[in-house]
């Protein structure tokens, strides 16, 4: 239901928002997306972002996910589109097809919906050449994240809560509003005469986040005010930054190959404090697997112990294989965990298996299935010959393109079938994301 209220807080000024945007260093001509659910937070963000971008020749596209968890979800998404359309802000609705099934089997499907929303939006960004996805997380969200993670016994990383920018699926997740409280964002909407939607799940006490929100007054009376918690988060973020700096120094010893596998001298891993070694190992496992989050600590610690004191056993965990090659640890994607096939069409881009970004440019309408090399259904002698150019251990974990005629291209070898290569203006680029970032790296 749309909502307007009377003024209760100072609005967020254009000057303050401009300062919050400065760290993202967006150049004129950049293309960015913004997640808009229709709540006051996201409506304030898209209005502020559109005004800011309009003076800088930056293209803004709003995304709303029809999560299908409520019968009114599509109507709400359409309402957001109508509001934004009236202001000339481009908008797309992305549909989560699994939403009704998730709602039927899960009393609290919000976590699954959150993961799906980000996947849908980052996939859209990858295919539309958008470098950043802006989200409306604010100061009160930061406080709730801290309290939730404190209740779970999190360490420095968890208690440092949300970073202003992280990488997810090769897209920068940008959070310019972390210093601003929710009531300031509601005031932005009031000042602009902008209605917003209220999400009924915000009152669902089955969610720990909602319960902490309702306990905020009691916590503040005990000294746990928003300002004090945010100050604690800032201290912990500085500590996390120092640890990340030390980890980066260790990862200078890691060597990635073009197929997304990495090797690290075991001696280098064991030459630093255990905390740094564990963090570096977790980052390599996440990057090599293309996973958004790190491995479970128990499995990570067992792997570290086997490296430090033995006995060594090759392992599969967190979607990767870990083996020893002389003095080196070798980490590469586990074939059985490679993601589903995807479709790559002309002038499109996608991230395959969370590890490789493929971009196809051509003036000819084309469509290919992107799958592991070993999944290509082409038994011709020429296809077998081309596929054999990929080292055997990598064939199940690197991509190939195919169509109704069989093998069409192998990005890692530069191979293109003759009829494909003859298409006007054709270019196929592949980037290994694993070697350039941790999937949830802080920027």
Running DSSP on this structure, what letter comes out for residue 442?
B
Cβ atoms within 10 Å of 303's Cβ, excluding its own: 22
What integer is the mean pLDDT of 294-308? 92
The predicted-structure confidence for 157-203, as pLDDT tens digits, reads as follows 889 999 999 988 789 999 999 999 999 999 999 999 999 998 766 65
| Residues 162, 28: Cα–Cα separation, whole Å | 27
Give the three-state DSSP class for 262: strand
What integer is the mean pLDDT of 237-243? 94
Which pLDDT does position 109 carry in this prediction? 65
Cβ atoms within 10 Å of 243's Cβ, excluding its own: 17
**pLDDT > 70? residue 214:** no
**pLDDT > 80? residue 105:** no
Architecture of the domain defined by 253-336: 2-Layer Sandwich (3.30)
Give the three-state DSSP class for 351: strand
Two tokens, residue 34:
């913004």
| Residues 297, 315: Cα–Cα separation, whole Å | 15
Two tokens, residue 31:
């293309």
Two tokens, residue 48:
């502020």
Which pLDDT does position 106 carry in this prediction? 63
CATH class of 2-138+161-222: alpha beta
Q: What is the DSSP string of 368-435?
A: EEEEEGGG-----HHHHHHHTTS-GGGTTTSEEEEETTEEEEETTTTEE-HHHHTSTT-EEEEEESTT
Give the three-state DSSP class for 443: coil
pLDDT confidence bin for 11, thresholds 50/70/90: low
Specify the pTM.
0.77
Which pLDDT does position 153 carry in this prediction? 82
Percentage of the chain modeled with pLDDT above 70: 89
The predicted-structure confidence for 32-85, as pLDDT tens digits, reads as follows 999 999 999 999 999 999 999 999 999 999 999 998 878 888 999 999 999 999
Delimit the domains of the chain by residue range: 2-138+161-222, 253-336, 339-432
Q: Which residues contact 237 (CB under 8 A, 6 or more apart)?
A: 160, 161, 163
Strands of 171-174's sheet in order across = 90-95, 59-66, 31-35, 132-134, 171-174, 165-168
| Residues 430, 357: Cα–Cα separation, whole Å | 6
CB distance 262 to 284 below 8 Å: yes
Which pLDDT does position 202 carry in this prediction? 60
* CA nearest neighbour of 278 among 437, 151, 156, 433: 156
Cβ atoms within 10 Å of 283's Cβ, excluding its own: 22
- Helix 139-151 to helix 226-251 angle, to the nearest 10 degrees? 70
**pLDDT > 90? residue 361:** yes
């Amino acid at each position: 239901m749309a909502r307007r209220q009377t003024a209760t807080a100072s609005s967020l000024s254009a000057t303050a928002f401009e300062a919050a945007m400065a760290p993202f260093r967006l150049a004129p001509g950049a293309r960015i997306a913004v997640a808009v659910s229709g709540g006051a937070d996201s409506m304030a963000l898209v209005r502020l972002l559109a005004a800011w971008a309009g003076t800088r020749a930056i293209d803004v596209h709003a995304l709303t996910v029809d999560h299908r968890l409520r019968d009114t979800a599509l109507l709400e998404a359409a309402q957001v589109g109508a509001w934004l359309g009236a202001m000339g802000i481009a908008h797309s609705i992305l549909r989560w097809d699994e939403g009704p099934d998730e709602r039927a089997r899960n009393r609290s499907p919000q976590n699954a919906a959150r993961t799906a929303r980000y996947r849908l939006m980052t996939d859209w960004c990858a295919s539309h050449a958008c470098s950043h996805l802006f989200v409306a997380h604010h100061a009160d969200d930061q406080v709730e994240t801290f309290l939730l993670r404190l209740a779970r016994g999190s360490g420095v990383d968890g208690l440092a809560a949300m970073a202003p920018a992280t990488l997810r699926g090769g897209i920068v997740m940008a959070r310019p509003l972390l210093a601003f409280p929710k009531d300031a964002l509601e005031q932005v909407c009031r000042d602009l005469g902008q209605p917003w939607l209220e999400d009924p799940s915000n009152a669902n006490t089955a969610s720990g986040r909602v319960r902490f929100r309702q306990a905020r007054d009691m916590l503040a009376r005990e000294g746990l005010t928003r300002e004090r918690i945010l100050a604690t988060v800032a201290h912990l973020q500085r500590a996390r930054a120092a640890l990340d700096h030390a980890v980066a120094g260790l990862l200078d010893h890691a060597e990635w190959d073009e197929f997304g596998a990495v090797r690290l001298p075991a001696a280098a891993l064991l030459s630093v404090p255990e905390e740094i070694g564990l963090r570096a190992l977790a980052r390599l496992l996440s990057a090599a697997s293309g996973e958004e989050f790190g491995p479970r600590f128990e499995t990570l610690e067992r792997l570290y112990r086997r490296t430090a004191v033995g006995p060594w056993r090759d392992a599969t965990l967190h979607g990767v294989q870990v083996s020893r090659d002389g003095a080196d640890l070798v980490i590469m994607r586990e074939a059985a965990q490679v993601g589903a096939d995807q479709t790559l069409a002309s002038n499109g881009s996608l991230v395959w298996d969370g590890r490789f970004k493929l971009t196809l440019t051509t003036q000819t309408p084309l469509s290919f299935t992107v799958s592991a090399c070993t999944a290509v259904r082409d038994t011709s002698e020429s296809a077998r010959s081309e596929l054999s150019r990929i080292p055997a251990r990598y064939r199940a974990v690197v991509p190939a393109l195919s169509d109704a005629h069989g093998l069409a291209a192998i990005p890692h070898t530069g191979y293109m079938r003759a009829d494909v290569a003859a298409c006007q203006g054709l270019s196929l680029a592949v980037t290994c994301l694993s070697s350039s970032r941790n999937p949830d790296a802080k920027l």
